[in-house]
Amino acid sequence: MVVKASGPRPTVVFVDDDRWDSFIQLAAILRKAKYRTVRITVAPSGWRAEHLLFDRYVSLPLPPDPDHLSKILSTEYISDVQPTESLAMTTYAALELLPASQWSRTWTSRSAVLDKWKVSTALREFGLRTPDTILADLTSPAEAVNKLSLPIVLKRRVGASGSNVNVFESLESLQIFFATVERPGDWFFEKFIHGESLVCASCVSDEGVDVIATYEVLKRIRLRGPSSIVIFGNDAKLEETAKVLIEKLNLRGLMCFDIIRDSNGDDWIHDVNPRVFGGFCMGQLAGFDFRGAYFHYLSGQGQIESSQCDTPRTKSFSFPEGRRDLFRSGVRRNSWIGTSMWIWRYWRLLGTRYFLFFIVERPVSSVRRNWERFNGRITSRHIKSNRVPLK
């Protein structure tokens, strides 16, 4: 689907404080389809390879407040917004300051699922299974371990992509870490569930669930981070649970739910992510038309291809992190052929502009890191010698 030029150009805004590959890839897909893409990032100013994927790119030295962000967005017609969790509340507050004619209200319910502890409480009220939790400012580590047992999870109430999620095998290690926490009210303890790591991903429009996919995570990019190798399946049990969750929380757009299936076959929901997810492109190539569903969500138009897993129980590899695992997984003489076909499929999905970004990004980042390192050494020398550098 390509957006027609008549009327205001639908815009998707990305707000972040770090580079997220799922944001970068979704932006490439959107721009290829003629949607307008805007990125607002908390990062040093200067040209970055990501500029190739956005129609507008704004770098801020510090996290903005809602008023500042609303002024940046005052000229945009916003169809959707994809913020990282750390900046989501600021983003939603900024949108509320804009005239109603400038943005859709399809994401207003997302702010209610940012606080992970509140979400876990709501899930239990809905009759859904979720690990037991205790607020960290209401109990000591010893009391938490006594109630929830070991291993135990300590996580920040607002966070994403595995950041600020810590698993402790002993009370001593938990106490040492907890002593460094400055604001216990921002954290909570959670019961650790042993089992398979599963994900249910979906895209929902006002007409209902357009696409839903389930997969098992075999490997992550980093500990508890985005998935890099998955196996897609057709898990009807998970899908029904997700549909109940979507209806109860009244969510729209792209989202995914992280689930642990224990040895008894019980499913425990432990995270709700109302944004684009790491398995978006893998799902598209596996036969689930998330791209068409997201275009339908944005515009209310377009046709979604029949979504089903093309090759059930076959491993899917994320781009670019999965390339080494993919190459090693095949028969040696066929590995280059399989890898080349994999790259070609991602090329067709993401477009030439994305691969140009991918080629340019590494040398540009390397030059920037070396320059920052060089400037750091020069500054350090001036401080040690009590000299002020010439301007």
CATH value at residue 146: 3.30.1490.20
- What Cα–Cα distance (Å) separates residue 357 from each residue in 98, 124, 292? 32, 44, 24
- Indicate whether 327 belongs to any domain: no
243 and 183 share a domain?
A: no
pLDDT exceeds 70 at position 2:
no
- Indicate whether 386 belongs to any domain: no
Q: What average pLDDT score do residues 363-375 get? A: 56
- Indicate whether 225 belongs to any domain: yes
Pairing of strands 78-83, 11-16: parallel
312 and 202 share a domain?
A: yes
101 and 201 share a domain?
A: no
Q: 229 or 335: whose pLDDT is higher?
A: 229
Pairing of strands 315-317, 78-83: unpaired
243 and 289 share a domain?
A: yes
- Indicate whether 4 belongs to any domain: no
Mean residue pLDDT of the chain comes to 85
Q: Are 304 and 210 in contact (CB under 8 A)?
A: yes
Which of 14-28, 36-50, 118-132 is predicted with the least confidence, judged by mean pLDDT? 36-50
Expressed as residue numbers, the domain containing 29 is: 11-113
- Indicate whether 376 belongs to any domain: no
186 and 205 share a domain?
A: no
202 and 310 share a domain?
A: yes
CATH code, domain with 32? 3.40.50.1000
Predicted pLDDT of residue 224: 63
223 and 150 share a domain?
A: no
Q: 292 or 380: whose pLDDT is higher?
A: 292
211 and 312 share a domain?
A: yes
203 and 295 share a domain?
A: yes
* SS3 at position 108: helix
Question: What is the number of structural domains in the chain?
Answer: 3
Pairing of strands 165-168, 208-220: unpaired
Whether the link from the prior residue into 226 is cis, omega within 30° of 0, is no
- Indicate whether 268 belongs to any domain: yes
Proportion of the chain above pLDDT 90, given as a percent: 54
Please, which pLDDT band fits residue 378 given cuts at 50, 70 and 90? very low
d(CA 77, CA 69): 14
CATH code, domain with 251? 3.30.470.20
Which residue is listed with tokens 């702010």? 111
148 and 44 share a domain?
A: no
Predicted pLDDT of residue 102: 80
Predicted pLDDT of residue 331: 45
What is the pTM for the complete model shown?
A: 0.86
